[in-house]
Amino acid sequence: MKRYFLILLLLPGLFAGCDLLQEPSTGISDEEVARGLKEALRVGTDSSVALLNRTDGYFKDEAVKIFLPPEVQQVQQLIETTVPGANLLLNEVVLKMNRAAEDAAAEAAPIFKDAITGMSIQDARDILFGSDSAATVYLETQTRSQLFAAYSPKVQASLAEVGLPTLWNQIATPYNQFANSLPGQLAGAQPIPDDLSEYVTNKALDGLFTKVEDKEKDIRYNLNERVTDLLQKVFGLLNK
C-alpha cells in the first residue's frame, strides 16, 4: 500500500515535462490578442460606418435597405386605394427613410470607439475563439442603447430635413381617419403609425450591425482582409 501511495505522489512530477499534458504555446500574448481584437473592431466599424454614411449606403443595398414597416405593408393595397397618389408617396417615404439613416450613420463612430477601448483581455479572448459574430454581439450589447440615444435625434432631424413628416402625414392622416371610421372597420383596416422616427432609428441600427457582422466574418475567414501584421498574427490563430 505504501508503494502505491508513493507512486501516486510521484506521478505529477513524472509527467510534468510531458508535452502532451501541457497547453501548447501560441507564441502570442494576451495583450497582443486584445490589441488585435481592438484593431479588428476598429477596422470593421470604421469600414461599416463609411459604407453606410454616404448617398445610397442604405437605399441601394438590399441587405440593409429600410422598407416600409410591416404593419404598413400589410395594408399597403388598402392605403393606395384610400389615399390618392399613395403609390408614389410611399416610394418617396422609403427613399427618405433611407436618406435619414445614411445621414445618421456617422453618429456611431465615437460610441464604437469608446466600447472598443473599454474591452478587457478576457473579452478579447472570448471573442476571438467565440462564434463567427462574437465581436458584433459584444459591440451590440455594449452600444445599442447608446447608439439609439445618439441616432434618434439625428434621425428625427434628418427626417425633418428631407420632409418625411409632412409627406407621411399626407398618407397616415387620411388613411387612419378611414381606418378608424365604420367603413374602415368593416373593411378590416388597421391604423398605421403616425410617426416613423423610432422605426427608422431601429432599422438603421439593424443595418449598421449587419455590416459590422459582415466585416467581422471577412476578417475571420478572408486572409486579404487582415490588413495589418497584428491582424494576421492574431487571427492566424484561428487557422491552426
Other CB atoms within a 10 A radius of the CB of residue 44 amount to: 25
Task: Report helix angle 121-128 to 30-52, nearest 10.
Answer: 70
Region 37-64: what's the mean pLDDT?
A: 95
> Residue 188 pLDDT > 90, yes or no?
no
- Residue bearing the bigger pLDDT, 69 or 189: 69
DSSP count for the chain of H helices, then E strands: 12, 0
**What is the pLDDT, as a whole number, of residue 231?**
86
CA distance 211 to 52: 9
The confidence band for 115, taking pLDDT boundaries of 50, 70 and 90, is: very high
| Mean pLDDT score of the chain | 86
Give the residue, 15 or 208, on which the prediction is more confident: 208
pLDDT in tens, 138-185: 999 999 999 999 999 999 999 998 889 999 999 999 999 999 999 888
* Distance of alpha carbon 51 from alpha carbon 57, whole angstroms: 6
Report the pLDDT value the prediction gives residue 26, as an integer from 0 to 100.
55
What 82-91 contacts at long range (C-beta under 8 Å, 24+ apart), as own/partner pairs, is 82/174, 82/175, 82/178, 82/189, 83/170, 83/171, 83/174, 83/175, 86/171, 86/175, 89/167, 89/170, 89/171, 90/171
What local confidence, expressed as pLDDT, does residue 13 receive?
43
pLDDT digits (tens, 9 = 90+) for 95-111: 999 999 999 999 999 99
Q: Can you say whether the dihedral through the CA atoms of 59, 62, 65, 71 is positive or negative? A: positive
Using 50, 70 and 90 to split pLDDT, how confident is the model at 230? confident
Q: Are 38 and 185 in contact (CB under 8 A)?
A: no
Give the residue among 103, 113, 63, 98 at the shortest CA–CA distance from 214: 63
Q: What is the pLDDT of residue 240?
A: 66
Lookup: cell for 147: 447608439
